[in-house]
Amino acid sequence: MSIISSRFPAWLPDWMAVQKIVLWGAADLRRFSTPVDETGEGFPFALSWAIPMNPRIMARIQNGPNQAYADEYARVNGHINELSEALSAEITGRGFRARPLAASKRTDTVHIKGDFPHKTAATRAGLGWIGRHCQLVTRPFGPWVRLGTVFTDMAISCGPARKRSFCGGCMRCVAACPAKALKGSAWHPGVLREEILDVRACDQWKKKHYFAFHKGHNCGICSAVCPYGLQFLKRETGAR
């Protein structure tokens, strides 16, 4: 599942294997504006990886989030942040610049977004595509993942970037969204988030109905009904 090239530094695949990260790659971000380091300089590349959520927990939130999902969400995000800090330290210790991107941290409350989309790095690294629910969809885990990103100037083999959606005509996530926030549009590189998701409608619904779970930052219904995620559950459990 990992995207491994002989052009990667020899230590990197080993580091990923030790951390049990099986889906990862590198993204060429030279055409994007990234967060900057302490000198004000951005980064040309990023390492991106996906950590799967517990599929049994994910399958049980098709009617709304619960405490088990909120706990799993926090656990995986915390693990990603630990990995990001460790990988950044490893890279800087080898003489390159690096900066971790926090998992699921909203830094712009007006536009409801973080410092940089993890999903952009992930699609540029070839990990998956963006579904109609505005989340990354991976072949092995569907959208039942959380994403990690570390920016760097370390020259590395990137991509190939994903350039199309593989959702076909499926609209399950659109139909399931209780906020009616999903517009049904198919993703392609460069499409605006607003063409896929009414982010304010999503945010307001979660805060009104699911405030008990990380102050309305959790829902997951659209992800829970995704056929790619349910295929992951079937492989893991033998469910029929």
Is 225 strand, coil or helix? coil
The string of pLDDT tens digits covering residues 187-210 is: 999 999 999 999 999 999 999 999
Question: Both tokens of residue 2?
Answer: 């990992």
* pLDDT in the model for residue 123: 98
> Taking the alpha carbons of 83, 13, 98, 156 in that order, is the dihedral positive or negative?
negative
100 with 157: CB under 8 angstroms? no
Measure Cα distances from 98 to 44, 86, 159, 172 in Å: 10, 11, 19, 39
The residue extents of the domains of the chain are 11-237
* pLDDT in the model for residue 5: 42
204 with 217: CB under 8 angstroms? no
- From the list 187, 22, 39, 68, the residue with the least C-alpha distance to 120 is 187
C-beta atoms surrounding 183 within 10 Å? 14
- From the list 212, 214, 218, 178, the residue with the least C-alpha distance to 198 is 178
The string of pLDDT tens digits covering residues 41-73 is: 999 999 999 999 999 999 999 999 999 999 999
Q: Quote the crossing angle between the two packed helices 11-18 and 67-93, to the nearest 10°.
A: 150
* pLDDT in the model for residue 6: 45
The string of pLDDT tens digits covering residues 212-231 is: 999 999 999 999 999 999 99
31 with 132: CB under 8 angstroms? no
Angle at 225 between CA 223 and CA 230, to 5 degrees: 95
Distance CA 28, CA 44 (A): 6
* pLDDT in the model for residue 105: 86
Phi and psi at residue 196, in whole multiples of 5°?
Answer: -105, -40
- Give residue 111's pLDDT band: very low, low, confident or very high (50, 70, 90): confident
The string of pLDDT tens digits covering residues 145-168 is: 999 999 999 999 999 999 999 999
* pLDDT in the model for residue 239: 56
Measure Cα distances from 5 to 8, 87, 94, 156 in Å: 6, 18, 19, 9
The string of pLDDT tens digits covering residues 65-95 is: 999 999 999 999 999 999 999 999 999 999 9
- The partner residues of 182 in beta bridges, in order of sequence, read 197
Residue 4 has pLDDT above 80, yes or no: no
Phi and psi at residue 47, in whole multiples of 5°?
Answer: -95, 130
146 with 76: CB under 8 angstroms? yes
* pLDDT in the model for residue 80: 98
151 with 35: CB under 8 angstroms? yes
Residue 109 has pLDDT above 90, yes or no: no
